[in-house]
Amino acid sequence: MRILDEYTDLINASFSQWIKVEDNQSKWTIEDFPYSTGVDENITYPHCWKCVTVNHCWFKNEENKKPNRFDYSNTSFSQTPLSKRGLYHPHCHCKELAINNPKIDDIELIIPDNKELYTINKKSSWINAMGYDNYNNFFKILYMKTKENFSKGNYLIREHFQYGVQININVAMPGANEKINNIYPLKTAYTIFPNGKLKLNTHLGGYQDERI
- Mean pLDDT, residues 37-56: 96
**pLDDT value of residue 109:** 98
142-198 pLDDT tens trace: 999 999 999 999 999 999 999 999 999 999 999 999 999 999 999 999 999 999 999
Starting at the edge strand found earlier in the chain, the sheet holding 197-202 runs 108-110, 197-202, 183-193, 164-174, 155-161
**pLDDT value of residue 1:** 47
Cβ atoms < 10 Å from Cβ of 181: 8
Name every residue whose Cβ is closer than 8 Å to that of residue 199 and which is 6 or more positions away in sequence: 109, 110, 112, 164, 190, 191, 193
The packing angle between helices 135-151 and 115-129, to 10°, is: 100
pTM of the model as a whole: 0.91
